[in-house]
Amino acid sequence: DAGITQSPRYKITETGRQVTLMCHQTWSHSYMFWYRQDLGHGLRLIYYSAAADITDKGEVPDGYVVSRSKTENFPLTLESATRSQTSVYFCASSESRGGVGRLSYNEQFFGPGTRLTVL
């Protein structure tokens, strides 16, 4: 199916375990993002990628690792999960589009989210 998908949708793990959240998009968008959303709060950027093999840190990167070997996939790994990483994780993708003059804009498309619980 076309669009952006995340797997798993729900995950329960234990402190100290490694967990990988998957994100896949079918639009060949250059940009991909990972956000976390804690209960009752807004989204915070963890990592983003401007293209395959190019990644950069966001607001809250500590404890997370990302890779982007293929344009369509952007996995997020928690190397040693902690209770504070219990959250809902959203993946998004976007493409720069021509706007006013030489300026470009980016409309982000979000996945359905992965609800992660770390016990």
Partner 1 sequence: DAKTTQPPSMDCAEGRAANLPCNHSTISGNEYVYWYRQIHSQGPQYIIHGLKNNETNEMASLIITEDRKSSTLILPHATLRDTAVYYCIFNKFYFGSGTKLNVKP
Q: Which of 23, 35, 55, 116 binds partner 1 (CB under 8 A)?
A: 35
Q: Which stretch binds partner 1 (CB under 8 A): 12-20, 21-29, 75-83, 98-106?
A: 98-106
Among residue numbers 5 through 24, which ones bind partner 1 (CB under 8 A)?
Answer: none
Closest CA to 7 of 85, 116, 83: 116
74 binds partner 1 (CB under 8 A): no
How far apart are alpha carbons 15 and 110 in whole angstroms?
28
Min CB(115)–partner 1 separation in Å: 8
Q: Which stretch binds partner 1 (CB under 8 A): 7-15, 22-30, 72-80, 97-105?
A: 97-105
Token output for 118: 């770390």
Q: Which is nearer to partner 1, 113 or 118 (CB)?
A: 113
Token output for 65: 């690792």
Q: Which of 64, 81, 113, 118 binds partner 1 (CB under 8 A)?
A: 113
Half-sphere exposure of 23 (CA within 13 A, CB side): 31
Phi first, then psi: give them for residue 60, nearest 5 degrees.
Answer: -130, 65
Closest CA to 93 of 19, 33, 26: 33
Q: Which residues bind partner 1 (CB under 8 A)?
A: 33, 35, 41-45, 48, 58-59, 88, 90, 92, 94, 99-100, 103, 105-113
